[in-house]
Structure 1
Amino acid sequence: MANSMPISINYHKPKLVVPARVTPHETKRLSEIDDQGTIRFQIPILMFYKYNSSMKGKDPAKFIKHGLSKTLVFYYPLAGRLIEGPNKKLMVNCNNEGIMFIEADANVELDKLGDSIKPPCPYLDLLLHNVSGSDGIIGCPLLLVQVTRFSCGGFAVGFRANHTLVDAYGIKMFLNALSELIQGAYAPSILPVWQRDLLSARSSPCITRTHHEFDEQIESKIAWKSIEDKLIQQSFFFGNKEMEVIKNQVPSNCGCTKFELLVSFLWKCRTIALDLHSEEIVHLTYLINIRGKSLEFEVPYGYYGNAFITPAAISKAGLVCSNPLTYAVELIKKLKDHMNEEYIKSLTDLIVIKGRPELSKSWNFIISDNRSVGFDKYDFGWGELIFGGVPKAVSLISFGVPVKNDNGDKGILIAISLPPLAMKKFQKVVYNLTLRNVEGANIISKM
């Protein structure tokens, strides 16, 4: 169990960081994937670095602030502001107003925070200070960066990005460029590409595929809303030992990936914990990155906009709960069938035709695999991180992040959001189905 301790932080006056050189003043349209209703929110990233004696006397805030200014030359739309065009279409006014930058000092040594730096981090609101007027969508800074120095010489870097401009891989590209430029590069090794028209609706939009991710039953929606504001979060660690136990619950030839297997297991446990009527429909929405996939069109290598689809598996709750794990695995494996150009075009057209609907919330488990994004790899001159990643589940979206446990074992950490009673049952179900068979099983719990 991870314990949090009270800390206080002294904040310096927030500043706007602008591109180091003159950049184009223009208006750029977002794609339909960028402009869907579900991702009109801010996505947080936290990264923690220990004290490095070779950098003694050097201020990480100064280095990072200077690096941001240079990076924004290449990613200048992030220094602009969102505006709405006809039919509330989101566009970026590239006016170089700048991103928000905050320096802060904490009264605690980083080591004292222990596992609480991992999801769901109880210090998120302190390490990403919400400057008044900075957390909206329209007319607000598109990126907020905070460098918090700890009394030991270690520090944390927090990034809060407007999700409509970038997805996880877009943030990865930006951070990679920032790291390279801080360490002396003249330009990023991967130059950013805009080309948002690739994922925009057709001139005559037409929905040609089934999109269960937007299905919403009125009764289920009302039931979910009655508990939505009572959600708490807990994190669960799955290393090789835990995954081996889960793997033994399906045939050796089931043909699923490690993450698909884990998601299937979590969906089943979550559905059992919610204690729904057997006829109630439950969703599993799996975010799939379309970069590098075999499609009729190719997403450019440097594309930093949102490039993912959100197909959903659906089932009656009773079937997910009562069937062997293979049942959920097979439903999730079929989501790969949606990885084709027509599905993507149908999705972009649906977003326009239906007025940017949000993903279904009622009994929907939404999961994103962030293991390969590399938020735990960035070196700003101080060496490797001790943790880097999305610091909590955001609304209903859970993120799989790579971590090491106290024994140094590598694994996947996932923060789950549920109402309190369902969370207690979820924890018992996970333990009974898996963790009781693993010596030293890890559950990191924070509420």
Structure 2
Amino acid sequence: MSVAVRKSSPAVIRPPEPVTTTRSGAGAIKLTPFDWPFVGVPFTVLLVFEHLSHEAVEGVRRALSQALVHYYPFAGRICSSGAGYDGFGIRCTGEGVEFVTGSVVCGLTEANIFGELSGAKALFDELAVYYPVGSYGSDDPLLSVQVTEFSCGGVVLGATWNHAVADGAGIAQFLAAVGELTRGQPSPLILPARCDNAVSRLPMLSNPIVEAVLACPESPDMELIVPLELTVPSALIDRVKAEYRSCSDDDGQPCTTFEAVLAVLWQCRVRATMPPGSGTTPVLLSFSADIRGYAGARAGYYGNCVANQPLAAATSGAVASASLVDLVGMVRRAKARLPDKLKEELGSGRLFAGGRYDMLHVSSWRNIGFEGVDFGGGPPARVMYHSRWVGPPTVPTCMVYPPCRGKDGVNMLSIAVKEEHAEAFLGELAWHT
């Protein structure tokens, strides 16, 4: 069904005037090497709440202004000295963030918000303010928030932010603070920090995604990748955990949900995309790791502190024929070496001779804070990443979501296979189930 969203004109939400005056003289916050790659890169998160009163929605607007007192860089703008990436910063001008309200004359279920991506994509496109990649200008807001009310009392909050200002954990921390202020807390429970010498002193880490692009800059195949919504069922995850527990001598350490999901995804994708007779082709699994603990970052730090790290490499034949327990073991051994890997100088491109389509990158929004955002009606029933698919992905990626209402298992967005491999990919997942 076609669902229309009525939107207000964008409003500018600023912190209280005294904060604007005080902070504007503080100059610019210098971006770190973890921030630089994301200058001008927009990300959008959609939070679906089943029950939220109109008064609470109005409270979000007021709380957003209050939150900018504590998270004042969000109200600033990106600036550049013209001296390359090292010259980028955030001007703490207090110019404000963008705020839009919307309304839909049907319920969340009727609008297929809890259904498959294909059934509600046109609606999702209207539930946030979107900026195409690379379109951010120096005068554009670093955060745009849209709150859309449905006739059933449900609400979808769409937040689009400049990724140079905060990573996923950082924006989740900010939205949680807005929720706390909406519910009447006098100040955020976590004291935020945007400047941290421990992070800014770290060198630029090798990035397998960037290296993959450099190793294979022309990849027309990537333009054929299609978005799919997947759910790895709880029964399959529990079975992998039980088999690992019975077969492994890994000091009794249980297999995690994320490790089980990684093993399933990697094998399903390799089997679906592997051409006949190509069992010696190198394939790589990588993931996004929050390294605040490794870096010694301050509590409450919300700037970028994520490393995209190679997790496991093997031949396609080895991954396709391995048991899921063996793949979990491979993943766990690679994770155990991660602290040392973060200290190494990784050779540029040496792991990526197979090209970008032979790589799977997994990023997770589980347990980073989105599941705890509460504006007065309880936590979100669904959390999603969304874009308008303005271009092909950099590398094949799966974005893992927090638990979703009505999904018995781990729900995710796959931007990882070409259309010609989509049916086989879904079939491999069904076969494991």
> After TM superposition, is the score higher than 0.5?
yes
Aligned-residue identity in percent = 23
Q: 1:97 to 1:61 in 2, by over 3 A?
A: same
Helix, strand or coil for the counterpart of 2:261?
A: helix
Asked if the contact 1:49/1:383 (under 8 Å) is kept, the reply is yes
Distance 1:219 1:299 in 2: 32
Corresponding position of 2:110: 112
Corresponding position of 1:272: 271
Distance 1:342 1:31 in 2: 20
Corresponding position of 1:441: none
1:282 counterpart letter in structure 2: V
Corresponding position of 2:430: 431
Corresponding position of 2:195: 195
Number of aligned residue pairs: 405
Asked if the contact 1:61/1:147 (under 8 Å) is kept, the reply is yes
**Residue 69 of structure 1 pairs with residue 65 of structure 2:** yes
**Residue 385 of structure 1 pairs with residue 380 of structure 2:** yes
Question: What is the TM-score normalised by the length of structure 1?
Answer: 0.80
Corresponding position of 2:367: 372
Asked if the contact 1:233/1:393 (under 8 Å) is kept, the reply is no
Helix, strand or coil for the counterpart of 1:127?
A: coil
**Residue 227 of structure 1 pairs with residue 221 of structure 2:** yes
Corresponding position of 1:11: 7
Asked if the contact 1:400/1:412 (under 8 Å) is kept, the reply is yes
Corresponding position of 2:352: none
**Residue 130 of structure 1 pairs with residue 127 of structure 2:** no
Corresponding position of 1:237: 231
Distance 1:72 1:178 in 2: 9
**Residue 305 of structure 1 pairs with residue 303 of structure 2:** yes
Asked if the contact 1:398/1:415 (under 8 Å) is kept, the reply is yes
1:145 counterpart letter in structure 2: V
Asked if the contact 2:365/2:401 (under 8 Å) is kept, the reply is yes
Could you tell me how far 1:128 is from its partner in structure 2? 0.8
2:79 counterpart letter in structure 1: I
Q: 1:128 to 1:283 in 2, by over 3 A?
A: same
The one-character-per-residue Cα deviations of 1:266-318 (angstroms, maximum 9, x if unpaired) are 11111111124333322211111123x3x4x5211110011222211222223
Could you tell me how far 1:115 is from its partner in structure 2? 4.9
Asked if the contact 2:282/2:315 (under 8 Å) is kept, the reply is yes
Distance 1:362 1:300 in 2: 37
Helix, strand or coil for the counterpart of 2:280?
A: coil
Corresponding position of 2:76: 80
Could you tell me how far 1:341 is from its partner in structure 2? 7.5
Helix, strand or coil for the counterpart of 2:371?
A: coil
Could you tell me how far 1:319 is from its partner in structure 2? 2.3
Corresponding position of 2:330: 331
1:329 counterpart letter in structure 2: V
Corresponding position of 2:99: 101
Corresponding position of 1:252: 247
Unpaired segments ≥5 residues, structure 2: 350-354
Unpaired segments ≥5 residues, structure 1: 355-359, 436-447
Distance 2:167 2:204 in 1: 25
1:81 counterpart letter in structure 2: R
Corresponding position of 1:286: 287
The one-character-per-residue Cα deviations of 1:402-443 (angstroms, maximum 9, x if unpaired) are 32453x74x3112212211111110111111x22xxxxxxxx
